[in-house]
Structure 1
Amino acid sequence: MRVSLLGLVILVSCVGAAAARVHRNAYATMMYMGTPRDYEFYVATRVMLRSLRHLEVDADLVVIASLDVPSRWVQALQEEDGAKVVSVENIKNPYSEQSQFDWRFKLTLNKLYAWKLVQYDRVVMLDADNLFLHNTDELFQCGSFCAVFINPCIFHTGLFVLQPSMAVFNDMMHELDVGRSNPDGADQGFITSYFPDLLNSPLFLSPLNGTKLDGTYRLPLGYQMDASYYYLKLRWNVPCGPNSVITFPGASWLKPWYWWSWPVLPLGIDWHSKRLQTIGYGAEMPIVLLQVVFYLGIMAVARLARPNLSKLCYHREEKSVFLIHNGFKLVAIWSILAAYLVPILFIPYTIHPVIGWTLYFLGAISLCIVAVNAFLLPMLPVLMPWFGILGALIVMAYPWYSDGVVRALSVFGYAFCSSPFLYVAFKRIVSSLQVLPEREGFLPRLGESAFPSGLSKLC
């Protein structure tokens, strides 16, 4: 009995020691507020952290968060994602007044706080738009500063390795005060200016004995594979170093977490597969279900109550008749246009692309039905853009293109061939709007047995 009790105590002690293990390295990212896309980057950060945890990295996960990050977000990062949150004050950006400054980068200098994480030997600093394919713990063997040149002459600060140092951090703050040159006013321009000789540094190859290197190194391109390289060949072919991390430094509204990014950008589905494996879509699904019910209700009501707006259009003066007639056509055209644009505004931006596009097509067709019934338009011409968009997505999503050039040419060819159908559909809609008042104008108003004397019908 005594032996069994002793064994239980030893087992509990070992488990507790493993749980309390102190990591000497960290993966870190930053989070700040003040942009319309704060929530999207919060979701992206959580997916990246969970992906790293899923890869069983031997390091802490750290989020450098500004003081105004909502407490519920901080709590989720700590309790659900297992991250250590370091709260910081925003670093004032001294470059915000320079010409061509992009306000989106006003607070990106908070990334410099990574050098204050002196409790760690090495820190891999990350942007939220990184997609990890493999465990990259070998990066902790790199030197005092290491980064990838995705541009032939300029390294990228979406991922870099650093050795924390208060001396370096204080010197960086001093350089901000004295106005060190910074071409873009963001972290990218400042850090590349602070380490101007990295291009001449040797290429990092992780030592087999696990020792940490000193000095600065260029990281192999495989640690920051620009997604645009993939779109050219529709496959990865990076010969130098492992293919480990994909980054998306392109257009801000084509980040991989937006539902419209796929199949426009094929790699968007890979990011969403990571989200599906990690935090899921529980936050967005109630909104999706509510919209589905709303759109189905619109279609039912529009079908049951077909309004006839032409019966309401009577006037004495020919000039006014002309204005009303053209206004009537303008409202109809704008209604059709709104049917294709309005659904985009209400779909949760970070929902899975398959769900997002399905919800878009459902919303567009429901609002098109409203326009068809309100203005007595032919159904097929109004829905021609609907079929055109669906066809474009199918062409883009086709998985067997030989390379990105063939894919782009296919999309262009499809657009060229479908444009005559869209033109004919537009002409049919305009013709229908032209004859609608002539077809319906002789009908009396609802509840009237004949036209009032002196009024002429709309033509």
Structure 2
Amino acid sequence: MTEDKSAQHGIQRHDTAGSTRAYVTLVTNEDYGKGAVALIRSLRITKTTADIVVLHTPALGGASREMLTTLGARLIEADLLPLSDAFNARHARRALHGTAPFTKGRKPDFHTPLDNFVKLRLWQLVEYESCIFIDADAIVLRNIDRLFAYPEFSAAPNVYESLRDFHRLNSGVFVARPSVATFSAMLQHLDRPDAFWPRTDQTFLQAFFPEWHGLPVFMNMLQYVWFTMPELWNWQSIHVLHYQYEKPWEANHPKTEALMPLIKLWHAFHDGDALPDLDSLPDPTAPSHLHQPAGQVGG
């Protein structure tokens, strides 16, 4: 295919695609680099045949890049989007959290809201026919290659506290079709005068794709469901586990005790340790779990 120059601007490819399909994640600093290690290892275990692409900003260090490459990822360096100074000021961490504060969980200090918009550069990856984006703070527990055939724009709802949240999408997992025309339209829609996206890329994507297709919550199971809606948790159904808010690699974060079984599972993927039988793990409502000491993950 002939590559449009717009597909090259702002990103640097160092090799060619090995497939027409790709899993894509975004890494904007060293912390999310840790997350990407676990994500890539989890995808490899599912035996996917798709490429695994890491979009990363220049903030990712050389050692982390080498590690991700060793794991078989295709690295593509991505610049921040060309946004106006006024837009950047409105969406800077302090300004954004002051206007639309997080009240249910804690965003870590290394989280920079403006970085989230780099996710839109996925639409510049026109060498791929279909992409599944997965946030770097997630792990894939079962093969989800079938999602490549799903339409744009498919995403799971932002359900982690109440079933009333089914109307809001969560951009931690979504299906997209790269297109220079779509990317150009996104930039025009994104940075309009006085535009404000309180949940950054999530609010924007829901506005840009108002008729988005809903995926099951099990395709993007948010970790808070573990203690807020335990009756919704079922290990045999969960395909992607997403560690929203506090991250599993943070030492002693505020939800450590409540989420310890999920944290230990993430570390097993990250460290390359032996994994438990997912189907035998106790759900949070199971009697065997209720009587376990904090920190145990099944038998």
TM-score by length of 2: 0.71
Q: Residue 101 in 1 paired to residue 96 in 2?
A: yes
Shift of residue 133 of structure 1?
Answer: 1.1
SS at match of 1:26: strand
Go from structure 1 to structure 2 and tell me whether the alpha carbon gap of 1:134 and 1:48 turns closer, same or farther (over 3 Å shift). same
Give the number of the structure with larger relative contact order, counting CA–CA contacts within 8 Å between residues 6 or more apart. 2
Distance in 2 between the 1:126 and 1:97 partners? 27
Residue 173 of structure 2 contacts residue 220 of structure 2 at CA under 8 Å; is this kept in 1?
Answer: yes
Residue 198 of structure 2 is matched in structure 1 by 184
Structure 2 gaps of 5+ residues are 1-15, 98-110, 160-164, 275-281, 295-299
Residue 166 of structure 1 is matched in structure 2 by 180
Q: Residue 75 in 1 paired to residue 75 in 2?
A: no
Go from structure 1 to structure 2 and tell me whether the alpha carbon gap of 1:185 and 1:226 turns closer, same or farther (over 3 Å shift). closer
Residue 245 of structure 1 is matched in structure 2 by 240
Q: Residue 89 in 1 paired to residue 108 in 2?
A: no
Residue 156 of structure 2 contacts residue 216 of structure 2 at CA under 8 Å; is this kept in 1?
Answer: yes
Amino acid at match of 1:97: A
Shift of residue 264 of structure 1?
Answer: 3.1
Q: Residue 123 in 1 paired to residue 160 in 2?
A: no
Residue 257 of structure 1 is matched in structure 2 by 249
Go from structure 1 to structure 2 and tell me whether the alpha carbon gap of 1:110 and 1:278 turns closer, same or farther (over 3 Å shift). farther
Residue 38 of structure 2 contacts residue 139 of structure 2 at CA under 8 Å; is this kept in 1?
Answer: no
Go from structure 1 to structure 2 and tell me whether the alpha carbon gap of 1:60 and 1:278 turns closer, same or farther (over 3 Å shift). farther
Q: Residue 269 in 1 paired to residue 264 in 2?
A: yes
Residue 19 of structure 2 contacts residue 50 of structure 2 at CA under 8 Å; is this kept in 1?
Answer: yes
Structure 1 residues 93-144: Cα deviation after superposition (integer angstroms, max 9, x where no partner): 5533238414721111100000011111110111111121111101111012
Distance in 2 between the 1:245 and 1:62 partners? 17
SS at match of 1:263: coil
Q: Residue 45 in 1 paired to residue 45 in 2?
A: no
Shift of residue 162 of structure 1?
Answer: 0.2
Go from structure 1 to structure 2 and tell me whether the alpha carbon gap of 1:128 and 1:258 turns closer, same or farther (over 3 Å shift). same
Quote the sequence identity (%): 25
Go from structure 1 to structure 2 and tell me whether the alpha carbon gap of 1:22 and 1:229 turns closer, same or farther (over 3 Å shift). same
Shift of residue 272 of structure 1?
Answer: 1.1
Match for 1:222 among 218, 224, 230?
Answer: 218
Q: Residue 59 in 1 paired to residue 50 in 2?
A: yes
Amino acid at match of 1:221: V
Output aligned runs, 1:14-33, within 5 Å: 22-32=18-28
Distance in 1 between the 2:127 and 2:223 partners? 33
Output aligned runs, 1:232-381, within 5 Å: 232-233=229-230, 236-237=233-234, 242-249=237-244, 251-252=245-246, 255-260=247-252, 262-265=256-259, 266-277=261-272
TM-score by length of 1: 0.48
Residue 145 of structure 1 is matched in structure 2 by 153
Residue 450 of structure 1 is matched in structure 2 by none
Q: Give the alignment's Cα RMSD to 1 decimal.
A: 3.2
More helix by share: 1
Amino acid at match of 2:201: D
Q: Residue 193 in 1 paired to residue 207 in 2?
A: yes
Residue 233 of structure 2 contacts residue 284 of structure 2 at CA under 8 Å; is this kept in 1?
Answer: no
Go from structure 1 to structure 2 and tell me whether the alpha carbon gap of 1:235 and 1:84 turns closer, same or farther (over 3 Å shift). same
Go from structure 1 to structure 2 and tell me whether the alpha carbon gap of 1:153 and 1:401 turns closer, same or farther (over 3 Å shift). closer
Go from structure 1 to structure 2 and tell me whether the alpha carbon gap of 1:113 and 1:21 turns closer, same or farther (over 3 Å shift). closer
Specify the structure having the higher radius of gyration (Cα): 1
Amino acid at match of 2:257: P
Residue 181 of structure 1 contacts residue 193 of structure 1 at CA under 8 Å; is this kept in 2?
Answer: no
Go from structure 1 to structure 2 and tell me whether the alpha carbon gap of 1:173 and 1:403 turns closer, same or farther (over 3 Å shift). same
Go from structure 1 to structure 2 and tell me whether the alpha carbon gap of 1:262 and 1:165 turns closer, same or farther (over 3 Å shift). same
More strand by share: 2
Amino acid at match of 2:139: L
Go from structure 1 to structure 2 and tell me whether the alpha carbon gap of 1:170 and 1:264 turns closer, same or farther (over 3 Å shift). same
Structure 1 gaps of 5+ residues are 1-19, 33-37, 199-216, 280-398, 412-459
Amino acid at match of 2:230: K
| Corresponding pairs, count | 242
Go from structure 1 to structure 2 and tell me whether the alpha carbon gap of 1:400 and 1:179 turns closer, same or farther (over 3 Å shift). closer
Amino acid at match of 1:40: D
Shift of residue 183 of structure 1?
Answer: 3.1
Distance in 2 between the 1:278 and 1:130 partners? 17
